């Protein structure tokens, strides 16, 4: 993925889980529930766009400050 901007990076469920400090299974549940969209690899694994995850993280942080 050389030359692609960081915003278009694809993250694994474990990487997303580390950002939110949750279990990777929770990230999978969020994807199934439609809270975040997932891209499926040819092998059937989920990947998440970094830009979308950052937006979701900001929303979660904003709502927790209320």
Report residue 8's pLDDT band, with 50, 70 and 90 as the boundaries. Answer: confident
pLDDT value at 2 more than 70? no
What pLDDT is attached to residue 40?
A: 96
Per-residue pLDDT of 16-65, as tens digits, reads 999 999 999 999 999 999 999 999 999 999 999 999 999 999 988 888 77
Residue 1 within a domain: no
∠ CA 23-65-37, rounded to 5°: 45
Residue 34 within a domain: yes
Q: What is the CATH number of the domain that holds 42?
A: 1.10.1660.10
E strand intervals along 7-56: 10-11, 39-40, 46-49
pLDDT value at 5 more than 80? no
Q: Which residues contact 23 (CB under 8 A, 6 or more apart)?
A: 17
Q: Can you give the pTM of this predicted structure?
A: 0.81
Range of the domain at 37: 9-64
Give the number of domains in the chain. 1
Residue 13 within a domain: yes
């Amino acid at each position: 993925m050389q030359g692609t901007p960081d915003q278009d990076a694809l993250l694994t469920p474990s990487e997303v889980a580390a950002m939110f400090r949750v279990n990777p299974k929770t990230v999978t549940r969020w994807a199934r529930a439609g809270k975040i969209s997932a891209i499926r690899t040819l092998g059937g694994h989920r990947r998440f766009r970094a830009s979308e995850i950052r937006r979701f993280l900001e929303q979660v942080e904003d709502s927790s400050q209320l």
